[in-house]
Homo-oligomer: A and B are copies of this chain.
Amino acid sequence: MTLTEAKDNLKTLQEKNAAFMNAMALIFYDGATTAPKGVADNRAQALGVLSQESYLLSTSRQTKETLEFLDSNKDSLDDHEKRQVRLLLKDIRMMEKIPMEDYVEFQRLMVKADDVWHKAKENNDWDSFEPILEKVFDYHKKIAAWCAPDKKAYDYWLDRFEEGLSMEACEKFFSTLREHIVPLLKKVQEKPQLDDSIIHGNFPVAEQQAFSYELMKLIGLDLDHVGLSTTEHPFTTSIGSHNDVRITTNYHPDDFSNSMYSVIHEGGHALYESNCAPELAYTALDGGVSMGIHESQSRFFENIIGRSRAFCEYIFPTIQKHFTEVKGTREDLYRAVNRAEPGLIRIEADELTYALHIMVRYELEKRIFADELEVRDLPRRWNKLYKEYLGVDVPDDRRGVLQDSHWAGGNIGYFPSYALGSAYGAQYLRKMKETIDVDECIRSGNFGQIDEWLRERIWKYGCLLTPSEVFRNAVGEEFDPTVFTDYLEKKYSELYDL
């Protein structure tokens, strides 16, 4: 094999990978937005075949020979090629440890589990979900044992979603959060509650949809390359490249703010994904580098920007334009969307209590992976932890252990990245403010400078840098969760007059 041939093979391999990713992402996306209800088996059938073909492609002798050859000729590669080879080899070496039938079976299982979960949640029927969730957890344990036999299973999965993350790091991070958030929440709860009546009413879905598109344009999304659909549990996915990204939302006719913050959150993901450098398309470097960095974008837009006073000031007239029944002031909106209150539902949680929801899930995942908890005992333990961390009683599994799609979708070990992402954002803000009048930009609806800052320091790199390199590259210092807790303490002290 000559170097030129190997480089050609590398390019072709990545284009093929991208096409399979395109097909599989689209099948998933269609299933969650558009597909008729009864076709999950058909989807599983197609995904089974496609994941098998993609597995065969990735682990073929030609692929391995190409990558090993390039790896041993590193000096002749540019930075992009070096990183591509590194990431692809890492994946292959991992994949090879999973027997192909198990790899395919695992893909099929996710599709079925997702379908079973949807129905189980709808019918508040944990029993129908339990057996398949048990299989999902078992597969996660098996895969961890195959791929990283010398690691604890949960550490393996944490690292899969956020390179470098471990239980040790999580424990430290969560204990800092706990130290600050629990007493802060206690003080907040002793004060009179903020009034959020302004966000409630009757808001037609068609109008909410028009508002969604306006929000997407406002934060800087290119609607020619970013689509919007409706689903039950909002998510963002790219379809084979950063040139085609889809966000989703869910409209609550009695509360416009629900979809509004979904759109801003998913819009943050889409900004990150779609602002990858153009030359990274159809390569292993395309798209966001990790879930933590991804959530740091989405939660930055949703909370740090979206729930700021400046944003409420800017967006209030637009809200009144779409929903004429909204009265009151910009300040009423600011207070309403920042009302802190322990609740049952993670995705409806405010900025302050959000991390507590994550900690419940972290504890449960940790214990299952350590064989200290059985899947069948999840609902009981879930309810217990909600009482302990948030002080609320869970009335049914629909609003309890069945609420999230993550476990059914095979995203076990993903949750901590949400909390991590929130914390990263506070540090971005502090850094950004050194050179940009962030509040003034937001107050005037001008996202150009903010997007530019993020694009140049984070977005454009795709997977060229590791998550920790991206973070350090953006802020020029190490991660420090107290920047986030300081931000919360300042914000909520002012809001609740502590």
Contacts and interface: CB of A to CB of B under 8 A. Distances in A.
Nearest to A224: B38
B240 A36 contact: no
B36 A244 contact: yes
Given A36-B223, A39-B239, A45-B241, A50 B30 contact: no
Nearest to A282: B45
Nearest to A57: B53
A248 to B, nearest CB: 11
Contacts of A474: none
A146 B97 CA distance: 45
Interface in A1-53: 15-16, 18-20, 22-23, 26-27, 30, 33-39, 41-43, 45-46, 48-50, 53
A206 interface: yes
A15 B108 CA distance: 14
A23 B34 contact: no
Nearest to A239: B42
A35 B206 contact: no
A376 interface: no
A383 interface: no
A427 to B, nearest CB: 32
Interface residues of A, number: 41
Contacts of A39: 224-225, 239, 243-244
A22 B27 contact: yes
Contacts of A37: 223-224
A257 interface: no
Given A27-B23, A27-B26, A46 B240 contact: yes
Contacts of A20: 49
A227 interface: yes
Interface string A147-169: 00000000000000000000000
A229 interface: yes
A38 B222 contact: yes
Contact of A36 (B34, B45, B224): B224
A222 B240 CA distance: 32
A226 interface: yes
A480 B331 CA distance: 77
A19 B45 contact: yes
Given A23-B23, A42-B241, 13 more contacts: A15-B45, A15-B49, A16-B53, A19-B46, A19-B48, A34-B246, A35-B227, A36-B246, A38-B222, A38-B225, A42-B244, A46-B240, A206-B206
